[in-house]
Structure 1
Amino acid sequence: MSTDVSNQLGLIVNKCRKIKSMSCKLQYFRRFHLTVNQTLPALSTSNFCTSGKAFLLLASQRRMVGCQSPKLKKSAIYTRTGDKGTSSLYNGERRPKYDDIFHSLGTVDELNSSIGVANYYCKKTGNGLDEKLVEIQCKLIEIGSNIATPRSSSNESKLSYTSFDDEIVTTLESWIDHYDSQLPPLKNFILPSGGESAVFLHQCRSICRRAERITIPLVEAGIADNAVGKYLNRLSDFFFVAARYAAMFEKHTENIYQQRRQDKPSNLMAREMKNE
């Protein structure tokens, strides 16, 4: 560290010692916040002996007056509030983590994660589905907010903020019609297949069906809006059409279901006798 830098640190520390008011100390350090942060990286082993004492005093003063670190404070990842097996809803109500609401929220979250995988491959191949998938992911966050705000036990402010209406379902139906109009007629059952984008979209479809099965009882109980159930129902149809579209766009072949019935014992015996 240069002599000028070391002297500057010393001046800052000495100045702080003379200031008796804690609020004034804090204001003083904020004033020199940029100067201090620019000089601290200059510390090295070779010059620590000459400036280390000033640096340590400075650091001690900064902690004493409550100066914030130049690094951004991270949000709390854990709160410990759920250690006893309960979790909080948006309206503040606490329920066991095995409550049906959390089963629904967890499955919707699982679906959102699966869409993230599908979106990666869709964007990679440039099939044009990625922007719509991101929009769907955002809608699933809104669905989660709706489910986490029971309609029968939340105040009007939270209900209006987390409402979910049928207009979004109409938009989803227009997407289904758009992609389905470009596909060849479906004459057979198809297996989840047709390339990476398609198979992951099929996986999203099956998880979406599970999310729907878990969420519908909440809709019937008045906990979630009717539009939530409608959206999940239509969303699985979208994933089916999107998977077929992705396979067609990427020129992959879809595997067709082929019936493989086992012959009855009597037919097998007749066939063996005929062969003899």
Structure 2
Amino acid sequence: CNIPYVACCSLKDVIYTTQHHRTLKIYTKTGDKGRTSLFTGERRSKFDSVFEALGDVDELNSNLGLVREYLKESEKKDALQDVSKMLVKIQCSLLDIGSCIATPLNSASDKQLQRTEFDENLVQELEQNIDRYWKELPELKNFILPSGGKLSCSLHVSRSVCRRAERKISSLLHAGEVSKDVAKYVNRLSDLLFTLARYAAFVEENEEVIYKKQ
């Protein structure tokens, strides 16, 4: 497996292997026939719903990395410094979520589940941040289009990718393969990204475009 794609192993395993075996390769050739491994060792087809969810979470993480690069270019980057730090933590949490998804609840051992258990307090932390930033925004009286500058739009893109990831994770939740805390986190994260998109436009003093029925 490649390192950002946490389907085959936990991040701790990757770090350990890298430190103790310098011959670690990015490619393994074990997935050339269209199947790959979960953290549990179970092999599934690459179009399995678990890997669909992992792919969307990985895509979301990449988009958030792009958001942070746009943030560095912002003339208001000093005022948005807390947002950048928060996004780094979220990106780390998304890697943890990848490990959770790759360790299905209904087939993993107790030891494996313990290693990949998701911290439910992270959901509450997202809610606190939503409330914190929403209070600083002007009242929302209309639907808005993704707008408000490059930074704001990149957050809207991340929000929509997050919603897609949530839909995939919801199917795993109903199948008993992922915890409700993981599903809650991704749900709250999309709300936070919407809030941050508006906050970025507000701080940068960019106009948000109002939806008008055509």
> Taking structure 2 as the reference length, what is the TM-score of the superposition?
0.86
How far residue 73 of structure 1 moved from its aligned partner, in angstroms, is: 4.1
Superposed, 1:40-79 pairs within 5 Å as 73=22, 75-79=24-28
Superposed, 1:35-114 pairs within 5 Å as 73=22, 75-114=24-63
| Identity, % of aligned positions | 50
Question: Could you say which structure has the larger radius of gyration?
Answer: 1
User: Aligned to 2:103, what secondary structure does the other structure show?
Assistant: coil
- The aligned residue for residue 115 of structure 1 is 64
Aligned with 1:150 (options 104, 107, 129): 104
Structure 1 residue identity aligned to 2:208: E
Gaps of 5+ in 1: 1-71, 261-276
The farther-off stretch of 187-196 and 72-81 is: 72-81
Partners of 2:128 and 2:45 lie apart in 1 by 39
Partners of 2:205 and 2:122 lie apart in 1 by 31
Structure 2 residue identity aligned to 1:106: G
Superposed, 1:204-223 pairs within 5 Å as 204-223=158-177
Structure 1 residue identity aligned to 2:84: D
Partners of 2:200 and 2:23 lie apart in 1 by 39
How far residue 164 of structure 1 moved from its aligned partner, in angstroms, is: 1.2
Partners of 2:119 and 2:94 lie apart in 1 by 13
What CA deviation, in whole Å up to 9, does each residue of 1:215-241 have, x standing for no partner? Answer: 101011111111011011100000000
Q: How many residues align?
A: 189
What CA deviation, in whole Å up to 9, does each residue of 1:105-142 have, x standing for no partner? Answer: 00110111111111111233212211111111100000
C-alpha distance 123-74 of structure 1, shift in aligned 2 (>3 A): farther
Partners of 1:74 and 1:256 lie apart in 2 by 55
- The aligned residue for residue 61 of structure 1 is none
Partners of 2:22 and 2:53 lie apart in 1 by 32
Partners of 2:163 and 2:104 lie apart in 1 by 22
What CA deviation, in whole Å up to 9, does each residue of 1:230-274 have, x standing for no partner? Answer: 0111000000000000001111111111121xxxxxxxxxxxxxx
Partners of 2:158 and 2:202 lie apart in 1 by 18
Aligned with 1:239 (options 184, 187, 193): 193
The reply to whether residue 124 of structure 1 matches residue 73 of structure 2 is yes
Partners of 1:115 and 1:143 lie apart in 2 by 15
Gaps of 5+ in 2: 1-20
How far residue 74 of structure 1 moved from its aligned partner, in angstroms, is: 5.2
User: Aligned to 1:87, what secondary structure does the other structure show?
Assistant: strand
Partners of 1:188 and 1:80 lie apart in 2 by 51
Structure 1 residue identity aligned to 2:56: T
> Taking structure 1 as the reference length, what is the TM-score of the superposition?
0.67
Greater relative CO (CA pairs within 8 A, separation 6+): 2
Partners of 1:193 and 1:94 lie apart in 2 by 42
Partners of 2:197 and 2:98 lie apart in 1 by 24
What CA deviation, in whole Å up to 9, does each residue of 1:145-204 have, x standing for no partner? Answer: 000001111111110111113211000000000000000000011100001110000000
How far residue 103 of structure 1 moved from its aligned partner, in angstroms, is: 0.3
- The aligned residue for residue 183 of structure 1 is 137
Structure 2 residue identity aligned to 1:175: N
Partners of 1:123 and 1:228 lie apart in 2 by 29
Partners of 1:240 and 1:75 lie apart in 2 by 39
